[in-house]
Structure 1
Amino acid sequence: MIGYADRINIDPKILSGKPVFKGTRIPISIVLKMLRDGATFQKIIDEYPRLTEDDIKAALDYSVFIVDF
């Protein structure tokens, strides 16, 4: 499991506090929706080159944390 805490940022000053990837304004919800719709990690990285495979895994880990909370 990739830890999400060092890759996900929640700041009320950035996108009204929506979870984003650190150092970006890319909300994790976009990546989760892309995965839901069948996108591969590579497709996501092609569309958002600042993201890495570990960033995408962190988004999944964060969503698991929220569901289990």
Structure 2
Amino acid sequence: MDNHSVSLLQRISIDPNICHGQPCIRGLRYPVTFILELLSSGMTHAEILEDYQDLEEPDIFAVLLYAAQLSQVKTITRLAS
């Protein structure tokens, strides 16, 4: 992983006292899942940044990189049928 990716991932924090330990952006109480939901609903980076002015564009890239890292699962096992 390059330095840029490491720097982006440092924007994602996990603190049991913030959002019940969900991964969040810089401890700001914006869970990664929330930003992913905004993006999947069709909001652009610019719209998100306009609506949530304490966020920065690298935060959105960090969320996407974090999600990409999580999706690199080698195998998926069915837990229930």
Runs of 4+ in structure 1 over 4 Å off: none
Give TM-score, length-normalised by structure 2.
0.76
Is there any run of 5+ residues in structure 1 with no aligned partner, and where? none
Match of 1:51, as an amino acid?
L
Structure showing greater Rg:
2
**Identity rate of aligned residues, in percent?**
35
**CA displacement at 1:53 relative to structure 2:** 1.1
Match of 1:18, as an amino acid?
Q
Name 2:22's counterpart in structure 1. Answer: 18
Name 1:62's counterpart in structure 2. Answer: 66
Question: 2:16, 2:22 within 8 Å by CA — same for their partners in 1?
Answer: yes
Number of equivalences: 69
Larger RCO of the pair (alpha carbons < 8 Å, separation 6+): 1
Give TM-score, length-normalised by structure 1.
0.88
